[in-house]
Amino acid sequence: MRHDPRPAEPTTRRSTRVGSDNEWDPLEECVVGTAHRSMFPAEDARMIRATMPREHWHRFVAGNPFPADIVDNAQRELDGLAALLESRGVCVHRPHAVDWSRLGGYTAAMPRDGFLVVGDRIVEAPMAWRSRRNELSAYLPLIRAYEQDGATWVPSGVSRDSACLLDGAAGPHDGWAINDSRPAWDAADFLRLGGGIVVGQLSHVTNRSGVEHLRERLGPGYRVQLLEPDDPHAMHIDASLCPLREGLALYNPDRLTPRALRHTPLRDWQLLPAPAPKRRSRPPLYMTSPWISMNLLVLGPEHVLVEAADEDMCALLERLGYQPLRCPFRHVQSLGGSFHCATLDIRRRSDRHR
Ligand code: NVA
C-alpha cells in the first residue's frame, strides 16, 4: 500500500499548560516531528566536515532532498510513533507542513533542536545553522496556542545572521567550526536534570556566548553546567548521555567516563555504559554516528522508547526494570536523529506543575 504523501494537518487544539523540567517524569504531552519535504541542510563545507559522516559530505548542497523512499518511510515511522504515544494517553501535536526546498531549510522532523522547555517556558534557541533560520515557521501555530494556554514564549532575540559565525577573523575557535561573534546554541546540546539543573556541552553549533545567553534566559533559578564529552564532532549531547531517571543515566563510553563526570551534577549518579551500536549500511546514517542508538525517549518510570531492532538496548533496559517499547525508527535516524531528537516534551507530570 502506498503511503499517503499528504502532510499532516497542523494541530490547533488547546494544549494543557507547558510544564517539564527533566527528561524522565511521566510524559503527558509532546510534539512529534514531521519528515515531509526534508532536505539535506546546505551548510558551509567547514561545518559539514566537522559534524557529518565523511562518506556523505557531498550530499550537503543546496536543493538536494533526502531520497523520497527514506522520507516516506521516516514519515510512516513518525506517524507510528505519534499513534503509539497517543495509544498510551500522551497528547501529541505535529508541526505545520513547510516546503523546505522553497525556504532553503532542512526539516521539521527534529523539534528537539530548536526549543528548550523549562518549567512553563519555551525558550527559542539561536541556532547556528543558516538552513535552520526559518524552522520556527513550522512550530509557530503550536507555540501561539501554548502561549494562549499560559505558557511563556522566550524568543531568542538574536539576529539570525549565521555568516558571522564562520568568519575566522571574528575570534578564537577553540577547535569548533563556529566562533563566538554572536550567541549560538542548539537545544539538543542540553539536557534537563530537574531541580533547576541543566547540563550541556560546547559543540560545533553551541558557543560560549550561547551558553551565557541560555543562562540569562533561564535566570537565577537555574544552573547550566557544561560537561566535556570527548567528541571532536560534537553536535547535540543526546547521543552521549541519556538520563533515565533521577540518579541513573546511560553514557556513551567512547565519549564519557564516570571519572569525567566526577565534578558535575551527575557525580553521585549510577552511570552505565550504553551498549555498543551495531554498524549498519542501510538505511544510511547520513548525519550521525551509530551512537544515535542511545537517543532514547523516556515515557516515565516504566517505559522507554527503543528502536525496534535494538536487542542489546532492550536487554539492558529490561535488566534495569523498564519495559522497552519497540518502535521502528531507522529511517528517521537517517534524517539525523532518533526518539529524543524527533520529539519535544511539552508536559511531564510532576507535582511542581500542578
Ligand atoms: N551528533 C551525534 C548525534 C546527536 C543526536 C552523533 O552523531 O553521535
The pLDDT > 90 percentage for the chain reads: 88
Quote the cell numbers at residue 139. 512550530
Test site for ligand 1: of 56, 231, 288, most ligand atoms within 8 A of the Cβ: 288
- What's the CA-to-centroid distance between 236 and ligand 1, angstroms? 6
Place of cell 557525580: 267
Question: Could you tell me where the DSSP H helices lie in 219-352?
Answer: 311-319, 330-334
56 CB contacts (<8 Å, ≥6 apart)? 284, 286, 287
pLDDT computed for residue 313 by the predictor: 98
pLDDT computed for residue 172 by the predictor: 61
- Give the mean pLDDT of 30-52: 97
pLDDT computed for residue 352 by the predictor: 63
pLDDT computed for residue 15 by the predictor: 43
- What's the CA-to-centroid distance between 150 and ligand 1, angstroms? 33
Count CB atoms within 10 A of the CB of residue 200.
24
Query: Which of residues 170 and 5 earns the better pLDDT score?
Result: 170
- Give the mean pLDDT of 277-297: 95
Cβ-contact 226, 122 below 8 angstroms: no
The pLDDT > 70 percentage for the chain reads: 93
Quote the cell numbers at residue 23. 527528561
pLDDT computed for residue 168 by the predictor: 72
Quote the CA–CA distance of 160 and 126 in Å, as a whole number.
7
pLDDT computed for residue 353 by the predictor: 53
Active site residues: 186, 236, 341
The residue contributing the CA closest to ligand 1 atom 7 is 288
Whether the bond between 283 and the residue before it is cis, its omega within 30 degrees of 0, is: yes
Ligand 1 atom, smallest distance to 289 CA? 7
Instruction: Please state the φ and ψ torsions of residue 238, each to the nearest 5 degrees.
Output: -85, 20
- Is residue 236 in contact with ligand 1, taking CB distance under 6 Å? yes
Strands 248-251 and 241-245: antiparallel
Given a cut of 90, whether residue 170 has pLDDT beyond it is no
53 CB contacts (<8 Å, ≥6 apart)? 285, 286, 287, 288, 289
Host H or E run for residue 32: strand 27-32
- Give the mean pLDDT of 272-289: 95
The residue contributing the CA closest to ligand 1 atom 1 is 235
- What's the CA-to-centroid distance between 352 and ligand 1, angstroms? 31
Strands 115-118 and 343-348: unpaired
What region does 196 belong to: left with phi over 0, alpha with psi -120 to 50, or beta?
Answer: left
- What's the CA-to-centroid distance between 87 and ligand 1, angstroms? 29
- Give the mean pLDDT of 66-73: 98
204-237 confidence digits (pLDDT tens): 999 999 999 999 999 999 999 999 999 999 999 9
Ligand 1 atom, smallest distance to 288 CA? 7
86-121 confidence digits (pLDDT tens): 999 999 999 998 999 999 999 999 999 999 999 999
Query: With bands split at pLDDT 50, 70 and 90, how would you rate the model's confidence at 171?
Result: low
262 CB contacts (<8 Å, ≥6 apart)? none
Ligand 1 atom, smallest distance to 287 CA? 7
Q: What is the DSSP letter of 272?
A: E
Distances (CA, A) of 77 to 74, 259, 267: 5, 37, 36
- Is residue 285 in contact with ligand 1, taking CB distance under 6 Å? no
Ligand 1 atom, smallest distance to 233 CA? 1
Paired with 20 in beta bridges are: 119
Strands 248-251 and 270-273: parallel
pLDDT computed for residue 288 by the predictor: 98
CA atoms within 13 A on the CB side of 41: 25
Mean pLDDT for the chain overall: 93
